[in-house]
A and B are shown apart, each in its own frame.
Chain A
Amino acid sequence: AQSVSQHNHHVILSEAASLELGCNYSYGGTVNLFWYVQYPGQHLQLLLKYFSGDPLVKGIKGFEAEFIKSKFSFNLRKPSVQWSDTAEYFCAVNPQTTSGTYKYIFGTGTRLKVLA
């Protein structure tokens, strides 16, 4: 079965520290990849997405992610976090199946807490 793993469930960082959140998926075919962020009390917002092309994608708020096909990974990074980055981060995968079925498979999420 297709699945998405986010290994870090909780991450605590100090402001200005660098961030890397892992995301691995299990699907051998073509995928579209997404990172969403959910700030406390708010809805999921799209941070960035990868469909094709340059495997290093830049998103909003200084976030970026790198797609490494050989590792089935799409890790999220930010060089210097801010207190306002405290949120829950979800990786989502949209497998491009031969049946044409469209859906997202979400990872379990990573709760990030940034200490001021």
Chain B
Amino acid sequence: GAVVSQHPSRVICKSGTSVKIECRSLDFQATTMFWYRQFPKQSLMLMATSNEGSKATYEQGVEKDKFLINHASLTLSTLTVTSAHPEDSSFYICSARLASETQYFGPGTRLLVL
């Protein structure tokens, strides 16, 4: 149980375009989902906390207009990278919180902006 999926697993886009990444909890309902960014050989940096039916809470330094988060249902959160630039290239990981204090992670999405 507690499976989280992400789609797509890999995306390449041109600079200036927008990219949407989906995060789904497959076998449970998640009131809270999280979006992380992982740089090569570094840890996961929390970008934002996404709550179903309300606005996301962004961490300091994360541009909310750049990284749009929508949590439309208890099983789906989306991250849209708007007007992507090469510096946005990274590995984006989502997680979903189960009823306990435990997070379950998706497999990640590798974004390459040319």
Chain B associates with chain A: yes
Q: Which residues of A contact B (CB under 8 A)?
A: 32, 34, 36, 42-46, 49, 51, 90, 94, 102-109
Residues of A within 8 A of B101 (CB): 32, 49, 51, 94, 102
A104 smallest CB distance to B (angstroms): 6
* Complex contact B93–A44 (CB within 8 A): yes
Which of A36, A43, A46, A90 has the most B CB atoms < 10 Å from its CB?
A43
| Contact yes or no, B105 A43, CB < 8 A | yes
Q: Pull 29 A–B residue pairs with CB atoms less than 8 Å apart, ordered by A.
A: A32-B101, A34-B102, A36-B105, A42-B107, A43-B4, A43-B105, A43-B107, A44-B44, A44-B95, A44-B105, A46-B102, A49-B101, A51-B101, A90-B43, A90-B44, A94-B101, A102-B101, A103-B46, A103-B49, A104-B34, A104-B46, A104-B103, A105-B46, A106-B44, A107-B43, A108-B42, A108-B43, A109-B42, A109-B43
- Verify A46–B97 contact, CB threshold 8 A: no
Residue of A with least CB distance to B4? A43
User: What B residues does A103 contact at CB under 8 A?
Assistant: 34, 46, 49
Closest-by-CB residue of A relative to B105 is A44
A63 nearest CB across to chain B (Å): 16
A73 to B46, CA, bound (A): 22
Q: Is B28 an interface residue (CB 8 A)?
A: no
Closest chain-A Cβ to B52's Cβ sits at a distance in Å of 14
Q: Which residues of B contact A105 (CB under 8 A)?
A: 46
Q: Which B residues touch A109, using CB under 8 A?
A: 42-43
Pairwise interchain contact B43-A102, C-beta atoms closer than 8 A: no
Residue on A nearest B104 in the bound complex, by CB = A46
Measured between alpha carbons, how far is A32 from B103 in the docked complex, in Å? 12
Bound together, the chains give a CA A94 to CA B49 distance in angstroms of 14
Among residues 89 to 113 in chain B, which have CB atoms less than 8 Å away from a CB atom of chain A? 93, 95, 97, 100-108
Asked whether B25 is an interface residue with its Cβ less than 8 Å from the other chain, the reply is no
| Structural contact, A49 and B107, CB atoms closer than 8 A | no
CA distance A8 to B45 in the complex (A): 19
Please give 14 more A-B residue pairs, beta carbons under 8 A apart, in addition to A102-B49, A104-B44: A43-B4, A43-B106, A43-B108, A44-B93, A44-B95, A46-B102, A46-B104, A102-B32, A102-B97, A102-B101, A103-B49, A104-B46, A108-B43, A109-B42
